[in-house]
């Protein structure tokens, strides 16, 4: 038995969303030799299935293969919360953390974080990929663009910036597993040096891998900037997809069809570059994001012992407080 096998413990990679989890699921973890990679369907059924009151930790351990010679290796971004459900996502993520602690108390937790400006942009493009129809501003700031039920915040599915505020969930896992067992990595450092990041992970986690093809092609490539208005129009022709979207008509099979069509069109370089936070979100949104996340990002940098400023994380709030973007006053009747 190798040293990596001797010290191997369960590994649970929880996301966050849009931090290359799909790439890890397809390219890296299936090649583990020190651990047994658990398929996503089994992970979802075991840790996310059932009602809030039906979880059986002993049954979950068995389903995940915790008693097998090789400990389980899990990678599922929905463990960190669910896209497009706003404040409710945090409750899901906290409850799932408690389930993981009950089923796999000796696990090592892997968390990837991403600078909020690019994370917000990436979440919005994913929303469009899933059939969304709103503008970037309306998606990111729904409370200023439509009635969202302030007295009943879980009633309306929507994005909420708390979903990319990493501190609360990291602190939850620190309390459940101990800081030494919660490994936080920056997506930007991984994107710059995939091999180096994975070598570091193997050393810290006791993970041993077979041959890995470090294919740098993204699994969910961003739409090009000029294509985004056409994506929104195409999404009006299907009622499937992202919650809270609009549809003019539902064309059967168009949801899958337009996804493949857009994927093919997106390959043409003549359509220009991918969107940037500055170009798509605008300065007011970026200043508001800095205002919202500066303090917690400074905490995050200390927690990771990393200079996050160089990686694009906002660490300083704007000199003057910034209001969230909102439609012109004369256009606010459309909130209805």
Listing DSSP states for 251-305 in one string gives: -TTHHHHHHHHHHHHTT-GGG-PPP-IIIII-HHHHHHHHHHHHHHHHHHHHHHT
CATH number of the domain within which 37 lies:
3.40.50.300
Q: Does 232 reside within a domain?
A: yes
- At 307 the pLDDT is 96
Between CA 47 and CA 257 the distance in angstroms is 32
* Boundaries of domain holding 95: 1-327
Q: Does 54 reside within a domain?
A: yes
CA 253 to chain centre: 27
Q: Does 268 reside within a domain?
A: yes
Rg (CA), the chain: 21
Do 169 and 94 meet the contact criterion of CB atoms below 8 Å apart? yes
Strands ordered across the beta sheet of 108-113: 36-37, 72-75, 11-13, 108-113, 182-186
Cis (ω within 30 of 0) for the bond into 59?
Answer: no
**Which helix (H) or strand (E) covers residue 167, if one does?**
helix 167-177
Q: Does 334 reside within a domain?
A: no
The residue count of the chain comes to 336
Q: Cα-flanking dihedrals φ and ψ of residue 11, to 5°?
A: -120, 130
Q: Which of 206, 238, 244, 231 is nearest to 106 (CA)?
A: 206
Q: Does 209 reside within a domain?
A: yes
Do 224 and 266 meet the contact criterion of CB atoms below 8 Å apart? yes
Per-residue pLDDT of the chain (336 residues; tens, 9 = 90+): 344 444 689 999 999 999 999 999 999 999 999 999 999 999 999 999 999 999 999 999 999 999 899 999 999 999 999 999 988 999 999 999 999 999 999 999 999 999 999 999 999 999 999 999 999 999 999 888 776 666 677 777 789 999 999 999 999 999 999 999 999 999 999 999 999 999 999 999 999 999 887 776 666 678 999 999 999 999 999 999 888 788 999 999 999 999 999 999 998 877 788 999 999 999 999 999 999 999 999 999 999 999 999 999 999 999 999 999 987 776 766 665
Q: Does 150 reside within a domain?
A: yes
Q: How many domains is the chain built from?
A: 1
Residue 59 backbone class (left: φ over 0; alpha: ψ -120 to 50; beta: rest): alpha
CA distances from residue 117 to 222, 275, 334 in whole angstroms, order as listed = 15, 12, 27
Q: Does 333 reside within a domain?
A: no
Q: Does 11 reside within a domain?
A: yes
Residues 6+ apart with CB under 8 A from 320: none
**What's this model's pTM, rounded to 2 decimal places?**
0.92
């Amino acid at each position: 038995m190798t040293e990596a096998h001797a010290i191997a413990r369960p590994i649970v990679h929880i996301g966050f969303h849009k931090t290359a989890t799909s790439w890890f699921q397809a390219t890296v973890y299936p090649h583990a030799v020190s651990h047994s990679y658990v398929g996503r369907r089994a992970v979802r059924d075991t840790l996310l299935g059932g009602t809030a009151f039906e979880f059986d930790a002993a049954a979950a351990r068995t389903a995940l293969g915790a008693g097998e010679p090789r400990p389980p290796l899990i990678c599922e971004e929905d463990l960190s919360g669910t896209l497009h459900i706003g404040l409710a996502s945090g409750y899901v993520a906290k409850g799932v953390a408690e389930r993981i602690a009950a089923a796999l108390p000796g696990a090592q937790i892997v968390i990837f974080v991403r600078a909020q400006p690019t994370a917000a942009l990436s979440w919005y493009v994913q929303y469009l990929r899933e059939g969304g129809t709103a503008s970037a501003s309306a998606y990111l700031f729904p409370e200023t663009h439509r009635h969202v039920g302030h007295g009943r915040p879980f009633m309306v599915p929507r994005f909420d910036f708390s979903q990319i505020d990493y501190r609360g969930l990291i602190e939850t896992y620190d309390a459940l597993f101990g800081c030494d067992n919660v490994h936080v990595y920056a997506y930007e450092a991984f994107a710059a040096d995939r091999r180096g990041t994975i070598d570091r992970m193997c050393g810290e986690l006791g993970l041993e891998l077979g041959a890995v093809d470090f294919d740098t092609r993204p699994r969910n490539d961003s739409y090009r900037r000029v294509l985004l208005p056409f994506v929104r129009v195409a999404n009006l022709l299907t009622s499937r997809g992202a919650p809270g979207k609009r549809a003019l008509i539902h064309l059967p099979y168009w949801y899958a069809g337009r996804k493949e069509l857009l994927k093919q069109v997106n390959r043409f370089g003549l359509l220009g570059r991918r969107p940037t936070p500055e170009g798509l979100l605008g300065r007011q949104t970026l200043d508001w994001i800095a205002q919202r996340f500066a303090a917690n990002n400074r905490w995050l940098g200390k927690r990771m012992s990393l200079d996050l400023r160089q990686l694009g994380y906002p660490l300083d709030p704007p000199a003057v407080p910034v209001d969230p973007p909102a439609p012109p006053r004369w256009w606010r009747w459309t909130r209805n």
